[in-house]
Structures are given as C-alpha cells and as structure tokens.
Structure 1
Amino acid sequence: MDNFSFLNAAHTAHFAALYDQYLQQPDTVEPSWRAFFQGFDFGLESSGSKGTINSSEGFETEVPEQLQKEFRVVKLIDSYRSRGHLFTKTNPVRERRKYHPTLDIENFGLSKEDLSTVFSAGEIMDIGPSSLETIIGHLKRIYCNSIGIEYMYIRDPEKVNWIQQRLNINDNHPNFSVDQKKHILKKLNQAVSFESFLHTKYVGQKRFSLEGGESLIPAIDSLILAADDLGVEEFVMGMAHRGRLSTLANIFGKSTKDIFSEFDGKDYDEDVFDGDVKYHMGWTSKIDPNNDGKKINISLAPNPSHLETVGAVVQGIARAKLDNNYSSDTSKVLPILVHGDAAIAGQGLAY
C-alpha cells in the first residue's frame, strides 16, 4: 500500500496549517511531519513544479496535485508575511524600486487558472476556505498597501501570532468613527497651521520644520490617548530637532507665545543662546488627553547635540521613574522615542 495514500482523503486545511507552522517554526512541528515537509520542499526544489517525496522503501511518490497547490499557497502566504513590506505603496511621488524575486504567483508554481480555485489555506489567515484571488487580495491589503510591516524575524512564536492576529483585523486598515476622523483632522490642522505661521513670521530663521511629516502629531496624540485608557500615568519622550516645536505646542501644551519669544531671542540674556538652542531644551507638563479629569505627567528630555544619544537617556529616565515611583510596574510609564531623519537605532552610541 502507498505510504502516502492517506493524503488523498485527509483534510487539506489541517495540512495547510501544519505546513504554515513548519515554515514559521520548524522545531515546533512533530518530527515525522517535519521530515515529511522537508522531503516535500526538497522534492519541489529538485524536481521543479513536480512535488515528490521518497518513501521509507526508497520509492518516489508524488503528492496529490491539489495538496501540492495547497502547500504552494501556504508558501505564497509566508512570502507575503516575510517580504510584503518590500512591495508597499509608501512613496506617493513615484513607484518603489523593484525587488526580486517578486510575489507573482508564477514564482510559486501557481498560474492564473488557479485564481478561481478555492484553497483551504485561507483558514490560516482566519478568512476560511477562499479562492486564490481572494487570498491574494487579502494579503495585498494587509502587507502591500500604505502600511508595511516586517516581523517574521521575531523568534517568539507567541509574539508572531499576536502580530498576525492584529493584522487580520479589518485587513490592517484603520476603521475610524466620524468623531475620530474629525479629531485627527484637528491635530493635522494644528500641525500645518503652526508650521505655516513660523514659515511666514520667521522667514530665513534656522528652524527644523515638520512640513511633510505633520502626521507625527496625530500619531503621538493617538498613542497617548490609547495609553491613557490603559492606565499609563507618565510619558517620557525623546526626539531630535525636526518637529520638536510643533510637538511641544500641540502635544505638550507649551504656550505658543513662549515658543515665539524663543524665536525672537527674548528668553536668553547671554548671546551664546541663539540659533537652534530652542530645539535642545526639554519640557515637562501635565495634560488631560481624554478630558476625564485625570491628568498625566508628560516629559520631553533635553537633547544633546548628538541627537540620537537621547534614546539611552529616555530609557534611563523611564527606568528610574518605574523603580522610584511605581514599584517597577512597567504598565505605568511609557517611553516614546522619535528618531531623526534617516536615523537608525543607536546611531552614534558605542555599546
């Protein structure tokens, strides 16, 4: 009897889920199944589109064609998860550079004739058995739209699964209510009008505008609102120059009168305090983001000239607040780091 005859009658969704698990975390798959998938992958690589495996007696056996295609669809899904961020629509000016190999279905042994075929592999994305066309549309909306995400390098399966579950919610697209949209528009308008005034009033002055990145303001605002709902009591921020003044005015509530006075040079008695000194200073205030009467403490750390050095400083401040004020309860203090233009983690720091 053919050792693999059971493959013809088995539930393909179960195999698809096992193969998906094998691709992400091979060591978590039962050894006999791991050996089976290793043999199948080897068969695909060595014999092209013909999926074969070797039985214990040394005979070459072909895996049923429908099951082969299920496995290929799982590989397609895994490739979108691993490389989808390379094909996102994140540049509004021109198309992104081309990366190879692409995510075209032909690279996975599938064809346009398979687009209408229903595959059980859709179940591993919580959309149930679906046509290949539906599966690809779902993957593109999640991984290849205006939000890119790279996470498959994470070694903790629980974290990977958590991210995947979050991505499947509304196809990784925000679903804002009318009031939320109005609030976002309000914060965007605040950011735009602030920069427009500075550009008009202080022509030629050295400044680090947020123009082109105004979405930072509603983004930080949303982060603080959500964290406040979860019980966070203190925020510690560190950021470089660009957008710093807009953040102080529109997030921290610093008086625009004070900010404009700094532009006029009225707050400094010594001549040495000129130029971009206002972009180096810190600020602390209490705000009520949700208008629920509970004020939270929010601090912006002073910035040294080597801008990304502030990252380690913010981490230290957050740790000190946790240890001294909250008995090391990490849910009470949220450090936020905003990197400067084209900065990388730890730039300029020697570990």
Structure 2
Amino acid sequence: MPVRIASRARRGDRPDPGSSESAGTLKEESRMQPIDSATLANKDYVAEQYRRYKADPRSVGEEWALFFAGFELGASGNGAVVGAAAAGAPVAAATGPPVIGVFDLVHSYRELGHLVADLNPLAPKPAGHPLLEPSEFGFGDEDLDRVVSCGGFRGCSRTSIRDLIARLQATYCGTLGVEYMHIQDQEQRVWLQERMETTSNHPDLSPEDRLGILDSLITAEGLEQFLQLRYPTAKRFSLEGSDSLVPLLHTVIEDAGALGVEEMVFGMSHRGRINVLANVLRKPYEMIIAEFEGSLLAKEATGDGDVKYHLGYSRDHTTRAGRKVHLSLAANPSHLEAIDPVIEGMVRAKQQHLHDAEYARVVPVLMHGDASFTGQGVVAETLGLSELDGYRTGGTVHIIVNNQIGFTTPPEAYRFTPYPSDVAKIIQAPVFHVNGDDPEAAVQAARLAIGFRERFKKDVFIDLVCYRRQGHNELDDPTFTQPVMYKKIAAKRTPLTLYREQLVQAGVVAAEEAERRAR
C-alpha cells in the first residue's frame, strides 16, 4: 500500500513557483516541522493549499489531500482520524485505521470500481476484487464503524468507513461503471466527480421522466415485434436486446438542445438502424413499411436507393423545452465504421459554414458495433485525427452497442482487452459502461456524456452492454454457434418487461395503466 500511495502522490499537479516568504502560517496551523523540499520551493502556495485543506479536504485536488493526510499522519505518530480533535472527539490510539487508507480507498474505487460493476445483463454481478477489499487499505472489521473524513469523496464529508464503502459501491459499482482516472486533466476529473458522487451516479428523474422512458421502450419493442410478425423473412438487424439505446438517444438530444446545440449529425451501422430511424429520427412509418413491401414511393421520397437498413433521414426536432435541433442520420453501406470520418467531415463543414468556432452548435454522434469498433483500423485513425486542429469537431459522443458478439465470434476470440472501448484511452476520453437492462443508467450516462462534451469539447464514450436477441439477422439461427449464450437470452425478460415491473413496484404507474400504454 505505501508504494501505491507514493506513486499516486507523484502524479499530482505541479504548482507554479511561489515567493520566498516564510511558511509560518503552515507551521502555526499544523504545529509540525516544515515539509522541506515542497515548502522551500513553493512556500506560500503550499501554505494556501493546506489552509484550504484544513477548512475542507474536498477543496483541494486528490493528490494534495493525500499529501497533507500523510503529512499529518506522520507528524501525529498514529492513525488518528483527520479532524477528530478539531471536532471535539478523542484522538484515536495507535491502533486506529490509517487515515491515508481512506484516501486510497476512494481513489481505488474511482479507478477500479467498474471492474466489479453490474454491467453484463447475461451474467451475475462480479463478487468482488482483491484490490478493493477493506484489508487492502489497512481496515479490519473493528474499523468499519469508525467515523472518518470522506477522503475527498464528494458525496459526504464525514461518515463511517462502512457507509463510505457503501456510497462508493453505489456510485461506481452499480449498473453504470465509469473509467476516467486515466484522464490527466484534473478539471475534467473533478467535473465528473461532482456530478457522479453527489448523486450516487443516478439520474434525478420525475415520474413523468420515468414514464417517458417507459413509452420509448414500448415503441422500440413494439416496432420490432410488429416487423417480425408481419415480415418474418425480411432482414432488419433488429435492436432487440439493446432497446435502451432509444431512451439514451432521446436524452442526448434533449440535453443537447438545453445546452444550446442546434444540429446533431448521427452515423451508425445497420444494427438497430430501422428502430432509430422510426423512434428517434421519426421517419414516417408509412415510408418504412413501403420499403418492407417493396412499394414505389413518390420520386421525392425514394431516398438513397439502398436497402432499408442502410438509409438515412433528417428532420427538425423540437425538444420538450421548446428548443429546435436539426437531426440527420447519414446513409451508410455495409462497411460499418467507414461512416466515422464521413460524419466528422460533415460536422466540420457545417461548423465552418455556421462560423461555429467554439464547436458548440453542431455535434457528431457515432454509434458503433463492439466487434467493428475494436477490429476496424479506421476507428483508431479517426480518433487520432480528432485531436488535431485541422480535423477537430469539438468532441464526438460515441455509443458502442455492445451485444457481446461479432457475427458468430465471442469477445475473447476477437480482442484481448476487457472492453471494446479501450482504444478510447488513447485520447484520454471518459468511458461510461452501462448495463443495457437498466434504461435509467443509460439516461444518466447520456446526460454525463453530452454535458462533458459541451463543457470540454472532447470525445466521450458510452459502452452499452447488452445482447442480440435474434441472430446476426433474423434469418440466422444463432443457437448453432452460441448455444449457451442463446439459452440465457431465450430465458431473459426484455428490457421493457423489467422496467415496467420496476415502475409498478415503485408505485410510479399502476399495472393496468402500464399495460394500457403498451396497447
């Protein structure tokens, strides 16, 4: 543990050199010896940081908080709780838990919590991780009810170690896991922490909001069921199993409008495209059915002359708050990720045409498959270009529809990384891993994603972990190549069924009303 803490402290921000005045304030408050090398170089700066730390440990960066906690621990000669004496509590004996362990606990959950998050709808939640065990931080069973400073965690200031662990698990180990500690920009980290840790990483939803999510799942599932019943031999590359993509996209659009976005340009492959066209872009059902029927439409409505799951559409959308946002989904052939640089080029051109120098008015949104995102080189090339001034579009919202299979290939046979999104780390982008069976977690991820993009003008990723209820297309029988996986899928209730039951149990909607809404 000491080695891990030391390495983290070395990654701290390097402050600007201060003046040569005495650090008397620091000495007087701490009643300790000077911190030789640090104070000699930056005396006033360190004194000011320590003053802020004494007032509120959360007001300084995590590295400074660790530094001062270790400083006080070493000077006191024991593991007393930070601030215990100031609060009038007795100072702990030498057997108390090391205070620096609290900061390490918080840091470790921020860094590793996603590894034990409940992300896979086809598997049980991971049991735990040895690096997150209380003993790893010097805590025994007798320490868990000790009241401590929350170690920089923004969801509390003081609580018991047991409660702090519960808060950390609720924030980082639920159905929404987050990878962001690879980001070197402290402001970006703090922005995310302030929005995740103060809410346990759950969205604040009114009953109307939750009923809106329910309705979006109803329309998503209902369209697929109708098309399967009416056109059982037609390929459509259904969205079934990843239905939460629809409320996720609705949230991205609504929040983008509230943040001043005027246009959103979407790119995606064929998986779920028909559902997105119908229930997000609001392409008329008459046009979609005509394409399934093979009917000839009016000349002005013939589109791009391709199969129905490659076509695009655009329209002006009015958000619930009355904001106008133009939505367009570009046509895309069967080359999957080939659309990525095309969308970026379209957005860059629109931004230049609108003199959108701040990249705030036009936003690109790219939807990927898990296997194609990992396997196609154009993905990494596009990400690399995104950080160059000549190609910058101010950040893309990426959504990986991770149905945990590539045609007939399982993840362990086509990638060596834990997640398909791992290539995103080359540009230090945050990644939100979402269990596709929890549409509210998808909504939270969407809010964080578009907010982060608009604030920092950087790429952001949502890894929607789900499954594919049908085969690669509706004419394939996947039980020949994935019998175990599809036995689980056949026994699963749909995201709509699960969410409807959740709302009924919570008293948001009566069972009869929920059934009526689905008719």
Counterpart amino acid of residue 133 in structure 2: D
Which shifted more, 297-306 or 160-169?
A: 297-306
2:176 to 147, 169, 184: 147
- Structure 2 residue aligned with 1:325: 354
Aligned to 2:339: 310
Residue 288, structure 1, aligned to residue 302, structure 2: no
Kindly indicate whether the alpha-carbon contact (under 8 Å) linking 2:153 and 2:197 is maintained by their aligned counterparts in 1: no
Residue identity opposite 1:168 in structure 2: E
Which of 97, 100, 106 aligns to 1:77? It is 106
Identity %: 36
One-letter amino acid matched to 2:250: D
Give the 3 Å change call, closer, same or farther, for CA 276–115 of structure 1 in structure 2: farther
| CA distance in 1: counterparts of 2:191 and 2:274, whole angstroms | 36
Counterpart in 1 of 2:78? Answer: 64
| 1:134 counterpart = 2:163 | yes
Which string of whole-angstrom CA distances, capped at 9 and with x for unpartnered residues, describes residues 167-215 of structure 1? 1232111121011111111111110101110111111222211001111
How do 1:1-351 and structure 2 match up within 5 A?
6=32, 14=54, 17=57, 21=61, 25=63, 29=64, 63-66=77-80, 69-96=98-125, 100-122=129-151, 124-267=153-296, 277-290=307-320, 292=322, 295-344=324-373, 347-349=376-378, 351=381
More off after superposition, 336-345 vs 161-170: 336-345
Q: Which amino acid aligns with 2:317?
A: I
Partner of 2:472: none
Q: Does the 8 Å contact 1:142/1:172 carry over to 2?
A: yes
Secondary structure in structure 2 of the residue aligned to 1:339: strand
The alpha carbon displacement at 1:143 in A equals: 0.2
Deviation at residue 254 of structure 1 after TM alignment: 0.6
Deviation at 1:72, TM superposition (A): 0.5
Please, which runs of 5 or more residues in structure 1 have no aligned partner? Answer: 41-50, 54-60
Deviates more, 1:140-149 or 1:96-105: 96-105
**Other structure's SS at 1:80 match:** helix
TM-score (structure 2 length as normaliser): 0.55
Which structure has the higher relative contact order (CA within 8 Å, separation 6+)? 2
Query: Aligned with 1:287: secondary structure?
Result: strand
Distance 1:263 1:84 in 2: 45
Structure 2 runs not aligned, ≥5 long = 1-26, 34-49, 82-96, 298-302, 382-519
Q: TM-score, normalised by structure 1?
A: 0.79
- Given that residues 308 and 346 in structure 1 are in contact (C-alpha distance below 8 angstroms), is that contact kept between their aligned partners in structure 2? no
Q: CA deviation at 1:126?
A: 4.3
Alpha-carbon distance, 1:121 to partner: 2.9
Instruction: Please report how far the alpha carbon of residue 62 of structure 1 lies from its aligned counterpart in structure 2 after TM superposition.
Output: 8.2
Q: Are the counterparts in 2 of residues 16 and 74 from structure 1 also a CA contact under 8 Å?
A: no
The one-letter amino acid of 1:64's match is N
CA RMSD of superposed structures (Å): 3.4
Partners of 1:149 and 1:141 in 2: CA distance: 12
Change in CA separation of 1:165 and 1:35 when aligned onto 2, cut-off 3 Å: closer
How far is the alpha carbon of 1:289 from its aligned partner?
2.6
Q: Distance in 2 between matches of 1:296 and 1:334?
A: 11
Q: Hey, what's the Cα distance between the residues in 2 that align with 1:63 and 1:301?
A: 65
The alpha-carbon deviation at position 98 of structure 1 amounts to: 6.3
Alpha-carbon separation, structure 2, partners of 1:326 and 1:267: 40
